[in-house]
Chains A and B, each alone.
Chain A
């Protein structure tokens, strides 16, 4: 199906979901090349998890920037991207829909084109954008063609949580990841937090979660959280790392190819040494205790058989315990569109992409942690590749994109990039950089495997699913009685993952517990969740929402 000129006015060239490093880089890369881009993110400020920032209160907000700067990395790059996006928004080339929660994405659907009762009233408050009515696009009725996509989002800034729609020719999905959680006795006590959560409080708000914080789990991220805590004035009695540093030596070649990352790690290590923080390696959490709130954590070494050794356990008083086992890619939106997945380095599913960050669904590009957890530097590269590829796709099928060059691109190094040649060079450089960072990420993942020791430490009475209060014992019993080892069957029989979190928190652990009980490997198949953000039935019942039209309608006449 082709789009008529009047319809084109309603359709963005690119919709980017997520404004973390990946989404931000994609947005700027695409807008720099003249595409009309809408970037949609649930947070008040761009930056995602890595560059989490408080809501912009006033312009310019460099004061706040300075306050939280000590806890951030590569901020110059952030400011450059953020300012560039602001210029594009001011020029009418892009829109930043902040505090919009995307609950569904789909190929444009016939029903969406029919005028719906109650949809006529446009929701107020989108960042300076003109809003068209979806009802005017009767031409799309009766087709299932996916030459464009509908992004359905809830405006969380309005108390009524209005729904809006963004219709775009291509999508870049960059929704990032969330903390992987693993249960242990006492993990549900107040004061036991995820490492990512503790980090977000510092980065986003300059707030310390506690005064005496043990950081435990696995991965270099623990060092960054520990360093942030001590710099902010907290006491960190120990960082408890389940992997052994000696295993670093097994992959020296891969490591030296990503020196800047190593330098970042070295800086954290320096800070920690200066503050006398001890790092226990091949140790892990046995349990947390406290009355009404965490008061101590008991940690133990992992012995030769891979189990925690309770005889050598140590009890450490804390007021907060920060635990980080890595990150879970947020796959709701890619899965809803039918994008293929594969098992990632941690065993959890990640999306499949090609050299251009193209998913297996035409018109859909993926970048950042959804393609495999690899950190912010990799997310930036993948985002830029995706943004450029999306523009090429749009340019190839219509006049809206590539023709309009922009005079001041994001970075000095690409200022000369007017012609094909420079563009090709840039793409080669990005491809190489992606390869290097990906190799580094894989090496890290190989070293920082989640050890199986937690399964032995998990007592039968420990709650695994907090929403439905399902214990490890209940899951083990179901697994034994019905030989159920896959997450879905365990959920249907014992209810873990049926509640509010829909298994986002407990799904990984519940499946590991069941599989371990039966002595089979956990499969960790991707779980489709067609509702990616909460919305009320009333909102749904109101019918199709109004579309947020591209801001620069007049430009097509220029």
Chain B
């Protein structure tokens, strides 16, 4: 069994630790901050298959929804605030409805279950929707968790399987043996530099993975993409599923640099309604753009007119970790033996975490992976740079 240091106690690091510890590896999770204190606490907990077109990411997502179901059974749905509530995608124009239906047909061919919804049937799903929407598609497979609770629960389970979790530990780099294999992880703890012996290191530092991978000496390109989320006052259950506009589908796949907004509206356990999420590439600028917030509010009110009178309680900001080709980096780095990356999940790190953790555990344990790992390999950047 290997001594594995997982860097990052976010959703992805927690899922890696969970799978590695179940395999019997000696796992140490280190994070400079608290549990889930990075992007994991800055996003929503949508677990979506609906927004992904056929391809490697969809394969990972389909595996993940299955694994989330199993995790919820094992650890308790309440612990994670897991809800298999399904997603309803609505179009606001006939034109987008056409595009959405076509997108859904292709997804169905790739194994996604989805059902077209006629305008007259929309209110059966969501009674409070605007009455003039032309139609939509329902995805029964979409789920939801509370990301920080899910992260804490997976780390707790990993600890029961023998893992150690250490906070206040900042990773500075790795030391290698003469054969180029990882020997130890160099960290700063309370101002002092310490080493943690390791056979393998998993870089699960999300939006900071670019920086951490460079410190390790095996750089991968991960960049921030800003998003805002609006939180309303607590309400009785007024939104039953995840409801989002079809524009979201095109935004996710888009490579455009500017601002993209399209709303995802969902109710939470606490009664608040979350309205997400904008996408902008503005570096790590945390100032709230009230112009963006206004656009999001307008889009939400367009599909749920009752929101007009509902109070805004809070706005929060996060930075999605993205790679230039919009695919996560999962796998062994060929430059330093024992270094693995599990980062760059952009706006889907919560959803994709369990399948990512499973893939890392399979690779560290030397098994073949459930989902083909090739498309996620860090080598795609290594050879690009060479």
Contact of A482 among B156, B270, B300 (CB under 8 A): B156
Contact of B312 among A112, A483, A531, A543 (CB under 8 A): A531
In Å, the complex CA distance between A499 and B269 comes to 12
Contact of B270 among A112, A499, A531, A536 (CB under 8 A): A499
In Å, the complex CA distance between A468 and B271 comes to 10
**Is A111 in the interface zone, CB < 8 Å from B?**
yes
Q: A109 with B297: in contact, given A486-B34, A492-B149, A531-B314 (CB under 8 Å)?
A: no
Cβ of B156 and Cβ of A481 under 8 Å apart? Answer: yes
Contact of A489 among B35, B233, B307 (CB under 8 A): B35
Cβ of B315 and Cβ of A531 under 8 Å apart? Answer: yes
Residues of the B chain whose Cβ atoms lie less than 8 Å from the Cβ of A538: 297, 301, 307-309
Cβ of A537 and Cβ of B312 under 8 Å apart? Answer: yes
Whole-angstrom distance between the Cβ of A332 and the nearest chain B Cβ:
11
Cβ of A537 and Cβ of B313 under 8 Å apart? Answer: no
Whole-angstrom distance between the Cβ of B226 and the nearest chain A Cβ:
14
Contact of B288 among A106, A500, A534, A541 (CB under 8 A): A106
Q: A492 with B315: in contact, given A482-B156, A484-B34 (CB under 8 Å)?
A: no
Cβ of B294 and Cβ of A489 under 8 Å apart? Answer: no
Cβ of A493 and Cβ of B300 under 8 Å apart? Answer: no
Residues of the B chain whose Cβ atoms lie less than 8 Å from the Cβ of A207: none
Cβ of A541 and Cβ of B297 under 8 Å apart? Answer: yes
Q: A492 with B308: in contact, given A106-B287, A336-B288, A530-B288 (CB under 8 Å)?
A: no
Residues of the A chain whose Cβ atoms lie less than 8 Å from the Cβ of B292: 111
Residues of the B chain whose Cβ atoms lie less than 8 Å from the Cβ of A104: 288, 290
**Is B152 in the interface zone, CB < 8 Å from A?**
yes
**Is A110 in the interface zone, CB < 8 Å from B?**
yes
Residues of the A chain whose Cβ atoms lie less than 8 Å from the Cβ of B300: 537, 541
In Å, the complex CA distance between A535 and B307 comes to 12
- Residue in A111, A112, A541 whose Cβ sees the most chain B Cβ within 10 Å: A541
**Is B77 in the interface zone, CB < 8 Å from A?**
no
Cβ of A535 and Cβ of B287 under 8 Å apart? Answer: no
Cβ of A110 and Cβ of B291 under 8 Å apart? Answer: yes
Give chain A interface residues in 468-499, CB to chain B under 8 Å: 468, 481-484, 486, 488-489, 492-493, 495, 498-499
In Å, the complex CA distance between A486 and B301 comes to 35
What is the size, in residues, of chain A's interface with B at 8 Å between Cβ atoms? 40
Cβ of B270 and Cβ of A495 under 8 Å apart? Answer: yes
Q: Which residue of A lies closest to B291 (CB)?
A: A111
**Is B232 in the interface zone, CB < 8 Å from A?**
yes
Whole-angstrom distance between the Cβ of A40 and the nearest chain B Cβ:
17
Cβ of B297 and Cβ of A493 under 8 Å apart? Answer: no
Cβ of A492 and Cβ of B272 under 8 Å apart? Answer: no
Cβ of A493 and Cβ of B156 under 8 Å apart? Answer: no
Q: A498 with B272: in contact, given A482-B152, A484-B34, A537-B232 (CB under 8 Å)?
A: yes
What mask results when residues 102 to 134 of chain A are scored 1 for a CB within 8 Å of chain B, else 0? Answer: 001011011110101000000000000000000
Cβ of B313 and Cβ of A500 under 8 Å apart? Answer: yes
Give chain A interface residues in 520-538, CB to chain B under 8 Å: 529-531, 534-538
**Is B310 in the interface zone, CB < 8 Å from A?**
yes
Q: Which residue of A lies closest to B296 (CB)?
A: A540
In Å, the complex CA distance between A109 and B293 comes to 12
**Is B27 in the interface zone, CB < 8 Å from A?**
no
Cβ of A540 and Cβ of B152 under 8 Å apart? Answer: no
**Is A46 in the interface zone, CB < 8 Å from B?**
no
What mask results when residues 303 to 346 of chain A are scored 1 for a CB within 8 Å of chain B, else 0? Answer: 00000000000000000000000000000000010100000000
Could you list 27 A-B pairs, sorted by A, with CB under 8 Å? Answer: A111-B290, A111-B291, A111-B294, A336-B288, A482-B156, A484-B35, A489-B35, A489-B36, A492-B36, A493-B35, A493-B148, A498-B270, A499-B234, A499-B270, A500-B233, A530-B316, A534-B311, A534-B313, A537-B307, A537-B308, A537-B310, A537-B311, A541-B297, A541-B301, A543-B298, A544-B291, A544-B294
Beyond A106-B287, A489-B36, A541-B298, 12 additional contacts (C-beta under 8 Å) are A338-B287, A467-B234, A484-B34, A489-B34, A489-B37, A492-B146, A495-B270, A531-B315, A536-B312, A537-B307, A541-B294, A544-B291
Interface residues of A (CB under 8 A from B): 104, 106-107, 109-112, 114, 116, 152, 336, 338, 467-468, 481-484, 486, 488-489, 492-493, 495, 498-500, 502, 529-531, 534-538, 540-541, 543-544
